[in-house]
Amino acid sequence: MVDTKINLCGIELDNPVIPASGTFGYGYEFAELYDINCLGTFSFKGTTLEERFGNPTPRIAECASGMLNAVGLQNPGVKKVVSEELPRLKKVFNKKVMANVSGFGIDEYVEVCRILDKEEQVGWLEVNVSCPNVHGGGLSFGTDAKTAAAVTAAVKKATTKPVIIKLSPNVTDITEIARAVEDAGADGVSLINTLVGMRLDLRTKKPVIKNVTGGLSGPAVFPVALNMVYKTSKAVKIPVVGMGGVSSAEDVLEMILAGATAVEVGAANLVDPFACKEIVEKLPEAMQKYGIKSLNELRGKA
C-alpha cells in the first residue's frame, strides 16, 4: 500500500491532484462526467469583485506542445459565485474547495477575500498576483516584490483562511517574490502561472490572439515550471503548490520530488476532461513502480 495523502496549509487531502483555476470552471460542470470527489480538491475559476466578460475573441491559440490563452478573467463576479456557483457545487462536491481570487487593486483583492472568507466550503484562497495593477502603472502585482507583499499583507488581514499566493514566472527571480510574500504572511505559494507568448497569422500578418499576447501553458512549460518549483521550495519554508504542463502521474511525482506539496493540473483538462481522474487513479501504480511509499517522504528529495 502507498500513502497518497498530503496536508496543505493545515487541511488534509486524499491526494495531491488539484485541477488548476480556469480549466475546471466551478466544478459542477465536470461532475456531470465523473465523481469529482476523487480529487484532492480543485481551484475554481478566477473570481473578481465585479462581473467580467473577458477579452475580445479570438483569445485562444494552439501551439506546439501547448496553448496560448488571453481569456481575461471572464467570471460572474464574487457575489454571484457565492449565491449561485457555490450552492450548485455543494450538491456534487463534499470537500473544501480552493477559491482563486483576482483583482486590479489591493482594495479589490481584499473585498473579494473578505466575502469568500465567510464561505464554509472555501478551504484556501489562492490569490493570483499576476493581474495588472491599474493604480500602479499597469504592471502585474506579481512582478514586484513590494507590491506582491502589499497584496499579501492586506489580504491576510481580511481572512482567517490559508492564503496561497499564485506567482508569475515572468520575472527575473521568482524566489525573491516568494520570499517577499512569505515574509508578508502568505501560508503558501503556487507556481507557475502562464508564460507570456504570442502567435502570428502568416495569412493576415496579424497576431492570432486579439489581445496580441497570451499565456503559454501545456507540456512545453513543464521543465521551466519544475525548475522554478525546485528553486522556490528551497528558498521558502511555506508549502509550494507546483503547476505548469503537468499531464501525468509521473509529472506529479516529479513536482513533489522537486519540492511541491500539492500539484495543479491545468491545460491537460482542456485536452481531456478526464485527465485529473486518470492521474489520481494512476498515481498509486506510479508510486509503486518507483518504490515510493509516501508522498511526504518523497517531497523535496531531489
CA 88, CA 69: separation in Å to the nearest integer?
Answer: 27
Do residues 269 and 245 lie in contact, with contact meaning Cβ atoms separated by under 8 Å?
A: no
276 is an active site residue = no
Do residues 137 and 105 lie in contact, with contact meaning Cβ atoms separated by under 8 Å?
A: no
Task: List residues bridging with 43 in a β-sheet.
Answer: 98
Select which of 9, 63, 113, 131 is catalytic: 131
Q: What Å distances lie between residue 132 and 32, 44, 106, 243, CA to CA?
A: 35, 20, 11, 21
Residue 91: Cβ within 10 Å count: 9
CA 54, CA 47: separation in Å to the nearest integer?
Answer: 12
DSSP string, 121-172: TEEEEEEETTSB-TTTTT-BGGGSHHHHHHHHHHHHHH-SS-EEEEPPS-SS
Q: Per-residue b/e over 109-119, b at no fewer than 16 CB within 10 Å?
A: bbbbbebbeeb
Q: What Å distances lie between residue 115 and 38, 70, 123, 188, 296, CA to CA?
A: 28, 26, 13, 20, 33
Which sequence positions are flagged as catalytic?
131
